[in-house]
Amino acid sequence: MLHIQWQLNGNDIPGATSPVLDITEGGTYTIVINSSSCSTTDTITINVIPEAKVDLPNILCLENETTIDGTLTNAGEFTNIEYTWKDAYGECTF
């Protein structure tokens, strides 16, 4: 008989006994699989990317040019920051 148990940060996740796990938070996930003839484990670390919070207090439109002055208010939560500005048609405008 096959027995599966998922763990989060070394602790069993209650009810997580199927081959598929829906992940809702970051951490180190381990799957422990036991059968009558063998056992194995595998581990993966999930890092959650925080949602960007942007404050746009100044948007100035003059003729065909738009100036946006904004601040990423939670920049300290990120290790790398990349951005792309797109127009209303989804075209990159940076």
The residues spanned by each domain of the chain are 3-46, 50-94
Contact 32, 5 (CB under 8 A): yes
How confident is the model over 56-65, as a mean pLDDT? 68
Q: What is the pLDDT of residues 2-60, one digit of tens each?
A: 999 999 999 999 999 999 999 888 899 999 999 988 999 999 999 877 777 777 766 66
Contact 77, 50 (CB under 8 A): yes
How confident is the model over 55-80, as a mean pLDDT? 70
SS (H, E, C) 20-60: CCCCCCCEEEEEEEECCCCEEEEEEEECCCCCCCEEEEEEE
What predicted TM-score, i.e. pTM, was given to this entire model?
A: 0.56
The amino acid at residue 74 is: N
pLDDT at 66 over 70: no
